[in-house]
A and B are shown apart, each in its own frame.
Chain A
Amino acid sequence: MNIVNFTPVTALTGGLLIGLSVALFFILNGRMIGISGIASNFLISKDNRIDNFLFLVGLILGPFIYNLISGKEINISISNSLILLITAGAMVGFGTRLSSGCTSGHGISGISRFSLRSIIATITFMLVGILTVLITGIL
């Protein structure tokens, strides 16, 4: 194993902001953030729909505001095929709702609560993610 592209300072800084968002939302609104929960509830449930919608709008405004403040461009590259994008997107959507949480809902909010369910979910999706990358790298 080689360590590559490691950016501990920006990773920790971004992480602190994510933690701040989760903490503020809990103290003020009383809910623990999970993005898959917020997004799917926005789609299927009338409860808190405006709050959920505004949170998602905020997420999308994030990169614009970052760009405005820092002047830095944000570039990402995704070169996967259409069929792979559709398959993976559906698996992420279906899987996170079946298990009631994603990287934020289980990985951050759930682990903050010391929830055993969330700890097991996080270990499972990380191990499966590692295995998937290992297999696709060999193929």
Chain B
Amino acid sequence: MNKILSLLCGIIFGIGLVISEMINPEKVLGFLNIFRNWDPSLAFVMIGALIVSTPIFHLFKNKNKPVFSSNFSIPTNKELDKKLIIGSIFFGVGWGLIGLCPGPAITSIALLNTSSAIFVVSMFTGFYIASKVN
């Protein structure tokens, strides 16, 4: 059952990225272009997501177990370390250069866009390198 659910959640997430146009790098770069011509849409995407996910998380986090799995798996790391900051800086530069982050990049494979496919292959290489460094 949780297999079907994983697929379904991916589909809902992907459709959300398409409807909100976050799949389009120009829309993301428009949000980051705050000092010139600013497109605030990305902030509304985050607000829309958070008003659903925040109350649901806090309502269910203390339940015994999720419906189709044996236990909840919630990140426990609370340390504000160098990796968090350096990683976020790397991500911010890459994000600002093209306007793609992991979700929209992978979703855009559906559009058979050569540029985004190159980005995705390089991103997975980055995942692999980070797994060796960590």
Q: Which residues of A contact B71 (CB under 8 A)?
A: 30
> Which among A1, A51, A87, A127 is the interface contact of B36 at CB below 8 angstroms?
A1
A128: which B residues are within 8 A, CB to CB? Answer: 88-89, 91-93, 95-96
Q: Mark A87-129, 1 if CB is under 8 A from B, else 0.
A: 1111111111111101110111111110111001100111111
Please tell me if the beta carbons of B126 and A12 are within 8 angstroms of each other in the complex.
no
Known contacts A66-B18, A104-B103; decide if A22 and B52 are in contact (CB<8 Å).
yes
Q: Are B56 and A136 in contact, with the CB atoms below 8 A?
A: no
1/0 contact string of A1-25 vs chain B (CB within 8 Å): 1111111101111111111111111
A126 surroundings in chain B (CB, below 8 A): 32, 92
CB neighbours (8 Å) of A13 from chain B are 19-20, 48
Chain B: which residue is nearest A133 at the CB level?
B32
Using A3-B40, A35-B102, A62-B107 as known contacts, say yes or no to A129 and B5 having CB atoms under 8 A apart. Answer: no
A23 touches B56 (CB 8 A): yes
A83 to B121, CA, bound (A): 13
Chain A's closest residue to B90 (CB) is A95
Q: Which residues of chain A are near B33, meaning CB under 8 Å?
A: 130, 133-134, 137
Check if A20 sits within 8 Å of B120, measured CB to CB.
Answer: no
Q: A88: which B residues are within 8 A, CB to CB?
A: 93-95, 97-98, 100, 119, 122
Main DSSP-derived SS at the B contact region? helix
* Contact B111 A10, beta carbon cutoff 8 Å: no
List chain B residues, Cβ under 8 A from A127.
92
Q: How many residues of A contact B (CB 8 A)?
A: 108
- The verdict on A58 contacting B131 (CB below 8 Å), with A13-B48, A30-B69 known, is no
The 5 closest A-B pairs by CB, nearest first: A62-B14, A58-B10, A93-B126, A15-B48, A14-B20
Please name 25 pairs of A and B residues whose Cβ atoms are closer than 8 Å in the assembled complex, sorted by A: A4-B39, A15-B50, A20-B16, A26-B57, A30-B71, A35-B102, A54-B10, A60-B106, A62-B18, A76-B26, A77-B24, A85-B118, A89-B105, A89-B123, A94-B90, A97-B134, A98-B130, A99-B83, A100-B83, A102-B91, A108-B49, A111-B50, A124-B89, A130-B32, A137-B33
Interface of B toward A, CB cutoff 8 Å = 2-3, 5-27, 29-30, 32-54, 56-57, 60-61, 65-75, 77-80, 83-103, 105-111, 113, 115-116, 118-131, 133-134
Contact surface of A with B, Cβ cutoff 8 Å: 1-8, 10-33, 35-36, 39-40, 43-44, 50-52, 54-66, 74-80, 82, 84-100, 102-104, 106-113, 115-117, 120-121, 124-134, 136-137
